[in-house]
Amino acid sequence: MRKPLICLLAGGSLLTASLALAATTLPPAPVANALARAGVPDAAFGIHVYNLSDDELLLEVAGDTPFNPASVMKLITTFAALDVLSPAYTWKTEALIDGPLFDGRLTGNLYFRGHGDPSLTLERFWLFLRELRNRGVRDISGNVYLDRSAFAIGAHDPAEFDGEPTRPYNVGADALLLNYKTVLLRFVPDEANGRIDILSDPLLPGINIINNLALGKGHCDYWPRTPTQNGNTLAFTGVFPSGCGEKSRYYSLLEPDAYFSAVFRQLWAELGGTLSGSVEAGTVPRDARLIASRESAPLAEVVRETNKFSNNVMARHLFLSLGSEQGYPLTTNKARSILDAWLASRRFDFSGLEVDNGSGLSRSSRLTPRQLGQVLIEAWRSPLMPELVASLPLVAVDGTMKKRLDESPVAGRAHVKTGYLEGVRSIAGYVNNARGQTLSVVFFVNHDRSRYAGPALDALLEWAHGAANEPSTQLRNVGR
């Protein structure tokens, strides 16, 4: 069945009415067969494939059906952030004091005020504290107060989504987020002594690690990475496969204030500083004066980290920061209003779109394959295309696609964002073929059997890469 060419508006946006004329077709045979083997019914998936070089819609299945997109929702969040805020946008974290500073001693309090920097890692925070030392602060006679008032988003329950509060993907947005509020545990086998050492970075006194691991036989993909949790205690038991080498995993345990306090005290002491008081939540008083300020990594770098590794808390910060032009404090409603206005300015038809927090870690988010396809097409034609495409995982090379399709012809030939939730599998991005063409690809699967749909998603990428080497007239009747 021949599909009409897609018409463009003067501003580069897609004419939705023309898209609606494109006839729905069946998925290619390899995709259909993989879905059948996975037990995924026809009503549980949607596809949109567009040839950007020929301005032609190649394949569409359930294009107007809303699906939960999982983490591919980040494509909308990151493209909007690049466009609304600019790739050079940065966040500031400030240090202020309310008393005299003489001969290294601050007679008063120190305040840290955040504005939503999602990239304040241990290394960057250490440099910030080093700057404070260079500006003469050594001994703090008062308290350290943490001002998070730039975000007005309510309390966050890390266990609410899936009952896994220690998993880093459940960390909530925080105007004074430090090191993603995580601890890296390294599992280091000591075969000479028949044991496993667990090393913590940073080494925080508020976290207790119980190590009951033993060396033994087993596959290196399976090791006891999930501990038993009791408050801030993690207990590891089971057999760690010998010969697998060092493994590592991130965990989140402490509340934001407790985490910041532990890290600050440790780094400040290492830098030769002292603190007489406590570290606690507070707000900066009017008479406090700025002593140092730390600028974040530029937004383009944050977008790369967000998409390559599907960093949820970074995506939450990008989403909230959309509302910065409406002033602080930043709220979810401000972010949604800016996103809606941005979509309207692009003349997208996004009726029915549901955005929760911008990360895709949500059961309520909804998006159609055609809507995300529109965004991919618009992004490809945008001056911001290089920043967005470079942020997506390169198949079989890096990010969340590093271990997929490594022996396939599509390896290294596609930039693809992945999405995964219980009951959801998705991919979206760009595929190159041997004819020098680029295709945008969207594939959503929403079903209890979606965990088995990975081969079907991979098959669509291979089809887009391989079948698109044929003349486009041979692609219009693709079916089972």
Do 44 and 81 have their domain in common?
yes
**Residue 467 pLDDT:** 60
Torsion of CA 356, 361, 367, 368, to 10 degrees: 180
- pLDDT averaged over the chain? 90
Q: Which has the closest alpha carbon to 291: 448, 119, 110?
A: 110
**pTM passes above 0.85:** yes
Do 456 and 432 have their domain in common?
yes
Full residue range of the structural domain in which residue 213 is found: 183-251
381 is a domain residue: yes
**Residue 298 pLDDT:** 98
440 is a domain residue: yes
Q: Based on the structure, what is the number of domains in the chain? A: 3
Sign of the CA dihedral with 337 first, then 92, 119, and 90 last: positive
343 is a domain residue: yes
Do 356 and 436 have their domain in common?
yes
DSSP 235-301: EEEEEEETTS--EEEEE--S-HHHHHHHHHHHHHHHTT-EESS-EEE----TT-EEEEEEE---HHH
Do 245 and 261 have their domain in common?
no
**Residue 434 pLDDT:** 77
25 is a domain residue: yes
Q: Which has the closest alpha carbon to 386: 303, 310, 317, 320?
A: 303
Do 241 and 293 have their domain in common?
no
> pLDDT per residue over 289-338, tens digit each?
999 999 999 999 999 999 999 999 999 999 999 999 899 999 999 999 99
Do 403 and 382 have their domain in common?
yes
Per the listing, tokens 């500083």 go with 273
- Sites in the chain below the pLDDT cut of 50: 1-24, 468-480
CB 218 within 8 A of CB 196: no
**Residue 9 pLDDT:** 32
> pLDDT per residue over 410-454, tens digit each?
999 999 999 999 999 999 999 998 788 999 999 999 999 999 999
**Residue 435 pLDDT:** 86
Question: What's the rounded Cα separation, in Å, for the pair 125 and 123?
Answer: 5
**Residue 466 pLDDT:** 87
Torsion of CA 456, 459, 460, 462, to 10 degrees: 160
